[in-house]
Amino acid sequence: MSAMPAKCSLAILLARESSAAVIFRRGPSKQTCLVAWDRARDTFEVGQWFKGSVYPERGDLSPDGRWLVCFAGKFTGPFYTWTALSRPPYFTASALWPKGDTWGGGGFFLSNHELVLNHWFGGDKLADGFEMPSGLAVRPSDKAMNARIAAVLEGSPAAWRAGSGPRGIFERHNEHGAVLTAYRAPHAWANSLMGTEYRFSPAGSTAIELSNADWADFDQNGDLVFCQGGRLYRLPRKTSVSGTDTEAVVAVATCLIDLTDFKFSNVAAPYYGPPLDRTTRESRREAKKRRRQLARHPVE
């Protein structure tokens, strides 16, 4: 009997000013694959895997989709956790800022040339061996920058707005009268929502609970795009839905890609990034040998 596909979840970041997007395919636990998605053509490029913890909700894509900022960690040396700047769909860092904990981390692109780093108290120093790419400046996280982030999101048609009613309800409207409601406050450092319950309300129709969706949003053309069960779907904006649950939407939507049966593979980025582990295999073996010797013959 063949093994069942590993369960996975999907989270997506959309570029604010282009058709670029990146999919975080997580599963098994602490294994995440990046997949680039061109929303204009619905084509995909499978990228790099990462073994460790990744926090998509603290990440962002540059408005043109060329850069990804992401918070991640292996919870071991030399950095424990960090924020990295990379070229999607790759995790290999072109620039890296050590964090060391999970308080904050990640970043937000004010523009294609300005990145606000969510590191407080002077945590904007690059790790040794890394340099900022030319044409991109890093700004510290403070009240003034938070105000600029709020202004950027307020002026973006792709941003979620606070809905009427209880706190924690946010809405997106498309040009055709449909409404997408999210039940959870959006993370301040992303232009997308993660880990949220959604409700889709087509214009003039009954609201539909997307109770099984990992992620949902409106595309630039007003289509509903959403993830469920490791698959990414597109519902054209003028499609009628008969039913009031996710399955009714899935029945008339187009499955763009199925990522359920993906397995880890080593993929090298097509660009150079300094290695995160600065020690050689031989030095690690020597260190392990010394630890064993000390365990047998402790120094008094």
DSSP-assigned letters across all residues of 202-269: -TTS--EEETT-SEEEE-TTS-EEEEETTEEEEE-TT----SSBHHHHHHHSEEEEE-TT--------
Whole-angstrom distance, CA of residue 56 vs CA of residue 192? 9
Q: Which two tokens stand for residue 114?
A: 């300005």
CA dihedral 184, 215, 263, 30 (to 10 degrees): -10
Q: Which two tokens stand for residue 267?
A: 């993929």
Whole-angstrom distance, CA of residue 145 vs CA of residue 71? 19
Distances from the Cα of 52 to the Cα of 37, 82, 146, angstroms: 23, 11, 29
Distances from the Cα of 8 to the Cα of 95, 178, 264, angstroms: 28, 29, 12
pTM of the entire predicted model: 0.85
Contacts of 140 (CB under 8 A, 6+ apart): 116, 117, 119, 124
Q: Are strands 20-26 and 9-14 parallel, antiparallel or unpaired?
A: antiparallel
| Whole-number pLDDT of residue 154 | 77
Residue tagged 């099984």 (tokens): 212
Check: CB of residue 172 under 8 Å from CB of residue 178.
Answer: no
Contacts of 75 (CB under 8 A, 6+ apart): 52, 53, 81
Residue 154 neighbours by CB distance under 10 Å = 9
CA dihedral 25, 190, 248, 173 (to 10 degrees): -160
SS3 173: strand
Check: CB of residue 244 under 8 Å from CB of residue 209.
Answer: yes
| Whole-number pLDDT of residue 297 | 63
| Whole-number pLDDT of residue 28 | 87
| Whole-number pLDDT of residue 194 | 57
Per-residue pLDDT in tens (0 to 9) along the chain, 300 residues: 444 544 899 999 999 999 999 999 999 888 999 999 999 999 999 999 999 999 999 999 999 999 999 999 999 878 889 999 999 999 999 999 999 898 889 999 999 999 999 987 777 889 989 999 999 999 888 777 778 888 887 777 777 887 776 667 888 888 888 999 988 755 544 445 555 889 999 987 888 999 889 999 999 999 999 999 999 999 998 888 888 788 889 999 999 999 999 999 999 999 988 887 654 455 556 656 665 766 676 544
What sections of the chain are H helices per DSSP?
143-154, 246-252, 281-296
